[in-house]
Amino acid sequence: MKTNVNLQPYNSFGFNTVAKYFVEINDIQELEVLITTDVFKQEKHLVLSGGNNVLFQNDVFDGLVIFINTKGIEILTEDENEIIVRAQAGEDWPDFVKFTVCKGWHGLENLAHIPGKVGAAPVQNIGAYGIELKDSFLQCEAFELETGKTKVFGKEGCRFGYRESIFKNELKGQFIITSVDFLLKKNAPLHLDYGNIKAYLEQNGIEKPTLLQLHDAICAIRDAKLPDVKQIGSAGSFFKNPVIEKAQFEALQKEFPNIPHYDEPNGKVKVPAGWLIEQAGWKGWRNEHVGVYDKQALVLVHYGGGNGHDIVELARKIQDSVEAKFGIRISPEVNFV
């Protein structure tokens, strides 16, 4: 266990928050020892994997950071149609997706190039290009910090929703996901319906993409829209796309006929927060330290020299101005610490 560790390399915003205590877990058995220590018992704790969806609001984290860095990928079962593959929580998500795609396994290709670790993926049910993690999720194992016991959570038990799961809500801070099992297919139709994908493939003269070509197309589309966290600090989409009542949407559509929208199964309507933020005039706005990414208004960025307060302040101003213009209060998808 280390003390006073700068978390700059461990959070994708790149803020210099200092953790009072920090421990790196390379083997799950180390967790069993950790929970018996005085530091664990006395300090508040935060589980960190990729740190890609976290906003440190303060310069000090007055507690224990548990950094999960366990590795390993194994095939559990395989037949001519399907495969069940287990990945340990500390595996890099984009590398794992690429690995499955190169093997010819279908299911995760649309989730290519999302920065983060495997263990964090179910927590917010990561999603992109018409697919969510839950679509290929079979189950995960999680370590209960209070008891030291391991519990298996199936799909139902995870209560997945749009950027939601039980681990972000009712069980927040109580479990550490240690491994995730995915059910992948050896043959399946590709999901090309998301607007950008077809346009990109057309532009590049690809008529019938292979699994790998689709994976690579998604990487290219993401690169064109989203900042590279190695160059510019960010946490991907900062806000969730709001889901509103049909009546409210229809009233808005009268005033803003071009408003993009997606019908939800429950009769509600999802509106892209990026569009609302852009219309409110924020796209490309910046001060010395932070700003709104100029290619995707849903992404707040840290150009350096700033801190969590700067992002919190900017987020609040954006929420207020979107609410004043559209009557919708957008909410963050990033975890505030």
**Which residues are tagged catalytic?**
163, 237, 333
- Among positions 237, 252, 269, 301, the unique one binding ligand EPU when judged by CB under 6 A: 237
Shortest distance, CB of residue 283 to ligand EPU, whole angstroms? Answer: 5
Between 314 and 333, how does the x/- string for binding to ligand EPU read (CB under 6 A)? -------------------x
Q: How far apart are CA 100 and CA 245, in angstroms?
A: 39
- Applying CB under 6 A, among 100, 139, 165, 241 the residue interacting with ligand EPU is 241
By CB under 6 A, how many residues form the interface with ligand EPU?
A: 18
Q: Which of 21, 40, 167, 275 binds ligand EPU (CB under 6 A)?
A: 275
| Least CB distance to ligand EPU at residue 159 (A) | 18
For position 260 contacting ligand EPU by CB under 6 A, the verdict is: yes
Query: Does 240 interact with ligand EPU (rule: CB under 6 A)?
Result: yes
Task: Single out the segment in contact with ligand EPU by CB under 6 A; choices: 87-95, 133-141, 149-157, 234-242.
Answer: 234-242
Q: Would you say 326 and 252 are in contact if contact means Cβ atoms under 8 Å apart? A: yes
Looking at 59-67, 172-180, 246-254, 296-304, which segment touches ligand EPU (CB under 6 A)?
296-304
Q: Is 284 in the site for ligand EPU (CB under 6 A)?
A: no
Taking contact as CB under 6 A, which single stretch among the options 6-14, 148-156, 232-240, 321-329 is the one that binds ligand EPU? 232-240
Taking CB atoms within 8 Å and a gap of at least 24, the contacts of 317-326 are 318/239, 318/277, 318/280, 318/282, 318/292, 321/280, 321/281, 321/282, 322/273, 322/276, 322/277, 322/280, 325/276, 325/279, 325/280, 326/252, 326/256, 326/276, 326/279, 326/280
CA dist list (Å): 204 to 61, 129, 207:
47, 18, 9
d(CA 21, CA 1) in angstroms, rounded, equals: 7
Among 23, 54, 142, 297, binds ligand EPU (CB under 6 A): 297
Which CB sits closer to ligand EPU, 124 or 178?
A: 124
CB 23 within 8 A of CB 1: yes
- Where does this chain bind ligand EPU (CB under 6 A)? 128-129, 225-226, 236-237, 240-241, 260, 272, 274-275, 278, 283, 296-298, 333
